Amino acid sequence: MSEKVFISPGKYVQGKNVIDKTGEYVKPLGHTALVIADKLVWGIAADRVVKSLEQAGITSIKVEFQGEASKNEVNRIADQGRSGHVDIVIGVGGGKTLDTAKAVNEALGSSVVIIPTTASTDAPTSALSVYTDEGSFDTYSFFSKSPSLILVDTKVISQAPPLFLSSGIADAMATWIEARAVIEARATTMAGGLPTLAAEAIAAKCEEVLFDYGLQAYESVKRKVVTPALEAVVEANTLLSGLGFESGGLAGAHAIHNGFTVLEGDIHHLTHGQKVAFGTLVQLALEKRPLAEVERYIDFYLKLDLPVTLEDVKLQEASREDLYRVAQAATKEGETAHNLPFAVTADDVLDAILAADQYSLAYKAKIGHKN
């Protein structure tokens, strides 16, 4: 593949209480909406979405998401959409709900609207979903078109637990680190071509914004207030990271994250972003980055209460054999670790996992950090 490819959603709207303008923004897309949200999110945001749709004269069919982005769940919801003759699918909530909405939309051939209630991942803007089966990574699914509309209500996001924002920052921090590797390797991105200059600029800007405003934004959500720092970081977590990873590419950090899914135990209680944070440190170790550069990320993650050691990701009891299984999964054929600009083996990844853990332990000892 020698062509460059850049893809993006049709429209992105972000601001306080923008959820109450859903109908206004959705009206050009159709007449009947299938609104998907889990039980908790209906009370937080989805009922407001339906009210706004009704005010704009759009019929709504409400569906409760059952919690797993599986093919069975997609088929179940798509059947409801077909029987209701919907022409808009609206996903409201977290990553699994939004991934399911995109997959349902692909089945129905309608327009999809994505309304995240947290800034915890960069999934909202992309034309792909991660299918899971009983919580473990199954496969990426690529769709024919990007979401038509993304609505991001920063007031809603400011009310979510701070962990969600820090997890989103961790996911977004991987964007430039992975895109940089893909660019160097001239590897193919999730968009299906080489990275564009636009994707490179967006991925680099994403990291810049996070280092500049990440801590202020994290403190903002602890007080449940919307600040300019929070607005900037929500955009970085959602739009910049979403465009950056999809058109800039994934590499080692997300491959490590996917590798972790082969293990049992408490690691599965961690968020996507928490696991990506450690995966990012593993990629930096694989790349032989200077210690000062690695420590910059470790320090930033510690300030955001993110995991930086094997103990932090609940793997203090994991055997070398277990960690080798992670490394094997992270380097299986087709995995994004092979987008790094050098050959990567399971042995290399195992060494990098242990190195990243040791670098973080040494840094914690150096600054007197208490767990």
Instruction: Name the DSSP letter for residue 42.
Output: I
How wide is the angle at C-alpha 118 spanned by C-alphas 113 and 119, nearest 5°? 95
Q: Out of 99, 153, 171, 357, which one is annotated catalytic?
A: 171
The yes-or-no answer on residue 138 being catalytic is no
Considering 153, 257, 312, 357, which one is annotated as catalytic?
257
For residue 124, report the phi and psi dihedrals to the nearest 5 degrees: -55, -40
Quick check: is 257 catalytic?
A: yes
Which residue among 272, 312, 348, 357 is the active-site one?
A: 272
How far is 22 from 156, CA to CA, in rounded Å?
A: 14
The neighbour count for residue 99, using CB atoms within 10 Å, is: 24
* Contact yes or no for 199/189 (Cβ under 8 A): yes
- Integer Cα distance of 316 and 308 in angstroms: 12
Q: Which residues contact 366 (CB under 8 A, 6 or more apart)?
A: none
Angstrom distance (rounded) from CA 259 to CA 201: 29
- Catalytic residue status for 254: yes
> Quick one: which of 108, 91, 151, 99 has its CA closest to 130?
99
- Chain center to CA of 140: 13
One-letter amino acid identity for 9?
P
The span from the CA of 225 to the CA of 174, in Å, is 26
Active-site pick, 38, 99, 122, 254: 254
Cα–Cα separations (whole angstroms), residue 44 to 114, 142, 303, 367: 15, 29, 29, 40
Q: Catalytic residue numbers?
A: 171, 254, 257, 272
